[in-house]
Structure 1
Amino acid sequence: MAISQGKVVVLTGASRGIGLATAHYLLTSSPTTNLLTISRTRGSLSTLSSTHTSRLEILEGDISSETLGQTAVDTAIRKWGRIDALIVNHGTLEPVKKIADARVEEWRMAFEVNVFGTVGIIKAAIPHLRETNGRIILTSSGAAVTAYQGWAAYGSSKAIFNHLALSLTVEEPLITTLSIRPGVVDTDMQRDIREKHAETMSAKDAEKFAGLKKDGGLLRAEQPGYVIARLSVEGDVKGLSGKFLNWNDQSLGAWQEE
């Protein structure tokens, strides 16, 4: 096992949207950073893999698996000997149903992915992040603090991210943990909101999200993605630990595009 001279980042939910933008930044704009990604499919990561073979390890699998988080961490340590940052970016919106209409099993499945998959990989990474005074970046959501009809499972799971950041800051002082609200981004999830879930949501909420697409109000994935990437490897983030911040918050100016 060789110890990498560059930083090592583990990134979940990397095959599209914000995760893919984050991966692209780390590989193209941070030339000494090594990256292990986790996603259900390789997707557009294959293109990055062809040009960054030695610096990118792609792991395909379901993050809700009890073993995948540990496998990812073990793979990064075996290949590069260290972990400097963990970016938790995966998530499922399902079930998009009122609480009264959803089955408990649907909530359980959502939490297996969004919550227990997250806790699993964080637990696996903590010993190594202590050694590097590393960072955990959690991709949260405005739904953590705002209610939308039918989004209770998703919003509740993202609210847990915010509390995880607070708890880890108290429990793991050697590690910096923060939760980032990425804004409303032009991703496949937004497409599903407009095309698949509009009838389940309130008319007001459905109109809001449709209007953002129609009027050009959606963010590009690169906007929050690049901030998240830079927070994982650049600058002094210690004073941000435990916070829930918008991607374009004034306090993150040093990590935003110039």
Structure 2
Amino acid sequence: MADQEEKVIILTGASRGIGLAAAHTLLSSSHKLVVISRTHAALDQLHYQYPSQVEVLAGDLSNASLRLNEKAVELALSRWGRLDALIVNHGTLEPVRRIAEVDLGEWERGFRSNVGSAVGLIQAAIPSLRKSHGRIIITSSGASQTGYVGWGCYGATKAVLNHLALTLTAEEPLIATISIRPGVVDTEMQREIREVHAEAMSESDREKFAGLKRDGGLLRAEQPGGVIARLAVRGEVGGLKGKFLSWNDASLGEWQEE
């Protein structure tokens, strides 16, 4: 994948935060995007700003009956004739509830939103990514490695996605799959952690996340978002296949902010 060549990427979770930052990084370098959001309006500004580079699909990826997975790939191929990368960046923190108190149906919905929808989209993209020797970049979380009170479902789904990168690396040698920990970023999810879900968390965790906001310790979305975007389209990533890496890991120096 030559650095200067324009690429075609499917990007989920592009309406805000890390996904929106990744979208702007890619679009400013003339790449083409199929972006997926629950509502079309959330991504209209991207479409207006880059009309020849952006196609928008609206709907809930966890609703298999909408066929958004197949439609996204079909749209990329019909519009630009290829697919070079898939960035899996969507997900939900909910349910934020202790294991002893959670309803099993809430976990099932969480897994459908964070895992099932990701696997379905990856499955649809694999044939095209084989042809382009493409890439799959997964936005994971430090919660996949650390236990937080109330975050069992979220952390478990992210751990599954980390393992999915390993499995895809074994099964799909023509595709480079990498899982990225973006760190604690100043996003809407962080606001929800502080303002909506705080009561379901431990006191120490509440203070940790409140303190990061209060003391200016949150990352800008452009920092991990830029790394994720550049990993999708630039450089040789063979040695990184299957790995779960922090966005600022030394091995990602080539893709970090210039």
Letter in 2 for 1:6: E
Equivalents in 2 of 1:202, 1:6: separation in Å?
46
CA distance in 2, matches of 1:81, 1:104: 42
How far did 1:45 drift? 2.9
Residue deviations 1:167-213 (CA, integer Å, cap 9, x gap)? 00000000000000000000010000000111100000001000000
Call closer, same or farther: CA 1:88–1:143 in 2, change over 3 Å.
Answer: same
**Aligned equivalents of 2:151 and 2:77: distance in 1?**
37
Query: Which residue does 2:163 correspond to in 1?
Result: 163
Moved more, 235-244 or 48-57: 48-57
Unaligned runs of 5+ in 1: none
C-alpha distance in 2 between matches for 1:73 and 1:99: 37
State the distance in 2 between where 1:43 and 1:255 align: 31
SS across alignment from 1:49: helix
> Where does 1:55-94 land on structure 2 (aligned, <5 Å)?
55-66=53-64, 67-94=67-94
| Structure 2 residue ranges without an equivalent (≥5) | none
Q: Matches of residues 86-105 of structure 1 in structure 2 within 5 Å? A: 86-105=86-105
The 10-residue stretch of structure 1 (192-201 or 74-83) with the greater mean CA deviation from structure 2 = 74-83
In structure 1, the residue corresponding to 2:198 is in which secondary structure? coil
Give the match's secondary structure for 2:34: strand
Structure-2 change in CA distance of 1:218 and 1:43 (3 Å): farther
TM-score (norm 2): 0.96
Equivalent residue for 2:199?
199
Within-5 A mapping of 1:1-258: 6-28=6-28, 30-31=29-30, 33-42=31-40, 45-66=43-64, 67-258=67-258
- Cα pair 2:178 2:242 within 8 Å, conserved: yes
CA distance in 2 between counterparts of 1:170 and 1:24 reads 32
**Matching residue's letter, 1:56:** V
More moved, 244-253 vs 42-51? 42-51
TM-score after normalising by structure 1: 0.96
Query: Kindly, what percent of the aligned residue pairs are identical?
Result: 63
Contact 2:69 2:121 in 1 (8 A): yes
